[in-house]
């Protein structure tokens, strides 16, 4: 899956405007994690990228996926920098901004987790959450993304697809510079419906089962699924 992701990103790179250097500012805020993908690069590299990963500490898989992808960005685009940002915790309305705390509780109570997952994975809840989150946090998310100035945005979390897709679209309209956003679904056999936003540049999945869900639940065009 990693090879497919990076090959597709590399092919799409011709449509982006890369950053002029590999500069990076460290950030100790627990909701953001900024790091240089290559701390040894000292000379400017026009092919380097500023990559913004959208993730949350709700299980180790999301952060691990982002970190692994960041390392591959450095291989393809030397001098690139990356940052991990939890926009839901920073800018989301209740109850979503309590995601990390809630996840820790629910992971210790599997029956409650199953109930929350089942209810939130219904079509009715999906539509309600979509409207609620977009109306409550899109402007703040758009502002935050613009302040960070990424060349590309990558979501590795299901709650960070619908709002960022709208925000990136609005940023593109406001600035006249295309800001691509990709989703990397870290689930395998099944996946929550909120993973699937059809406004992404590409949606990367690990199985045919997830591809089918993306097309059925998210109405993501097949040509966007890798």
- pLDDT tens for each residue of 181-219: 999 998 887 899 999 988 999 999 989 999 999 999 888
Check pLDDT > 70 for residue 73: yes
Q: What distances in angstroms separate CA 152 from CA 3, 57, 114, 133, one per listed residue?
A: 18, 21, 34, 22
Length, in residues, of the chain? 226
Which residues, 6 or more positions from 135, have their beta carbon under 8 angstroms from its beta carbon? Answer: none
The pTM is what?
0.81
Tell me the pLDDT tens digit for each residue of 84-112: 999 999 999 988 888 878 888 888 899 99
pLDDT digits (tens, 9 = 90+) for 9-22: 655 555 554 444 44
What is the per-residue pLDDT across 166-179, written as a single tens digit (0 to 9) for each? 999 999 999 999 99
**Tokens linked to 29:** 């805020």
Helix (H, G, I), strand (E, B) or coil at 17: coil
């Amino acid at each position: 899956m990693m090879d497919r992701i990076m090959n597709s990103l590399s092919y799409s790179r011709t449509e982006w405007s890369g950053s002029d250097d590999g500069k990076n500012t460290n950030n100790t805020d627990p909701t953001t994690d900024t790091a240089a993908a290559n701390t040894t690069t000292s000379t400017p590299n026009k092919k380097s990228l500023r990559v913004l990963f959208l993730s949350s500490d709700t299980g180790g898989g999301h952060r691990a996926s982002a970190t692994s992808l960041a390392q591959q960005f450095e291989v393809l685009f030397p001098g690139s920098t990356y940052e991990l940002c939890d926009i839901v915790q920073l800018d989301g309305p209740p109850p979503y901004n309590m995601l990390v705390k809630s996840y820790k509780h629910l992971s210790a109570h599997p029956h409650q987790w199953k109930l929350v997952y089942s209810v939130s994975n219904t079509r009715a809840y999906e539509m309600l959450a979509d409207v609620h989150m977009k109306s409550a946090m899109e402007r703040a998310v758009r502002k935050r993304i613009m302040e960070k100035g990424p060349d590309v945005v990558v979501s590795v979390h299901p709650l960070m697809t619908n709002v960022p897709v709208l925000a990136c679209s609005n940023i593109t309209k406001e600035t006249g510079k295309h800001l691509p956003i990709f989703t990397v679904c870290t689930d395998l056999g099944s996946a929550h419906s909120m993973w699937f936003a059809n406004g992404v540049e590409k949606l990367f999945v690990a199985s045919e089962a997830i591809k089918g869900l993306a097309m059925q639940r998210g109405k993501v065009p097949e040509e966007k699924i890798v």
